[in-house]
Every structure is written in C-alpha cells, then in structure tokens.
Amino acid sequence: MIQSDYDPQIVAQHAQELAEQGTSFMGIDVFDATNLWMLLLRFSFNLLVCWSIIQFFYYRKSRRKDYYFTFMSFSATIFLLLFLLQSIPMQIGFALGLFAIFGMIRYRTETVQIREMTYLFVIIGISVVNGLAMEVPYVSVITANLLFVLMIWLLESNKFLKHTSTKIILYEKIALIKPEKYTELVTDLKERTGLDIHKVEVGHIDFLRDTAYLKVYYKAASDEINTIDTTTRF
C-alpha cells in the first residue's frame, strides 16, 4: 500500500485555480457579477438623469421628437463606450476628442440650432462623467448630476431669465423704417401681427423692391420654441 502526503492548502489552491479557469475564456472573464451590477446601476442612473433633462426641459418647449431620439441615443452610446473602455489608458484624451468632434457637427440637411447643440453638449458631458467616474464617491457623482439638472432648471425658468422670442419679417412699408418713425413702425407691426412687440431692428434694405428685413422681439404667448422664427425664405 502506497501512502501519499495530503496538503489541504495545496488542494484548495488548485481548486480555486480550476474555478477561475472555468469562468474565463482566453484570459477574459465570462461573468463578473460586480462589474455587471455596476454597469446596470450606472447606466440606469445616467439614463434617468439624461431623460429627465430632455423630457422636462428640452422637449417641454421644443416638442421635437427627432432630437429627443438623438439625445437619448447619444447618452446611451457614449456612456457604454466609456464604461467598457475605462481600462484603456486614454480616457481623458478620448473624452476630449468626442467633444472636439461633436463640437464641429453640422448635419447636411440643416444647421443644428444653438439650443440643440447646447443640450447635446450637456448630454455628452453627463454621460462622460458617469462613464468615467468609477473611483469617485457615489455622493460626488450624484451631486454633479444634480448640479447639471439645477443649472438647466435655472436657465430654462422664466423666473430668472425672461424668454424673448424673435421673428424675421420681410416688410414692405419702407417709409416707416426711418428712425424718427420708429413708434409708427412698432404700432403697425403690432396691429398686423398681433404680437406683443417691444423692440424692432432694421436689417437688409432693398430699395429696388421697396422692402426691408426686420427682426422683431416680442413676448410669446407660450414657452414653446418656434423653430422657423428666423427663417427668411424656403
């Protein structure tokens, strides 16, 4: 009968190595519960913050579903991209590269308005913060997101910033564009448009056609954004 030495420590270590090999494939873990829960938790939080900003601040005034889709897609894509590539040593440079690329975006069909571009930068910024801040305390991350929401609420609120709408008008009574007839010009525009106009600026003047472009500032009846206010021609 052959007697062999039995070392419980060696057996336990060998069993642990086998268990680790069983959950990995080609050196990559197949399942990591901690990482998965972290992904779902942060993704849900990031999506909730971005959705709240888009739904209650942007969409409430603009009512544009195309940008709604764009903002939400950007939020999910950028967060997942940065979260899954967080181990690559180019986090900051990659994030700044995203800002540089999206800062030059001009869609071929139409020019992106300032308001839409601003919200796009905000959504990108929030997603970058939530995707890269893995070692930042949860309270700091939540506070940063709340500061984003608070800032947008203050800027969109009429209590702090009075919203003034503008409209471009092609005007034919060219005799009224003279500075001394400004009061008559404003009165005529109020009667013809029904708008509460409080300021008028005279732009391009065409003496051949006796017309001039006017930019009128007025108080809108609602907070909704009119996307064709500054359109001068088809």
* pLDDT by residue, tens only, the chain of 234 residues: 444 555 666 656 655 555 555 566 565 666 678 888 888 999 999 999 999 999 998 988 888 888 899 899 989 988 988 887 775 555 556 655 655 555 555 544 456 778 888 898 899 889 988 988 878 888 999 999 999 999 999 888 766 666 678 889 999 999 999 999 999 999 999 999 998 898 999 999 999 999 999 999 988 776 666 666 655 554
Write down the pLDDT at residue 155.
85
d(CA 78, CA 95): 9
Nearest-CA neighbor of 110 among 54, 67, 75? 67
Model's pTM, two decimal places? 0.66
- 3-state SS assignment for residue 63: coil
Nearest-CA neighbor of 103 among 92, 81, 118, 115? 118
d(CA 229, CA 234): 13
Tokens linked to 197:
């106009």
Per-domain boundaries in the chain = 31-156, 165-219
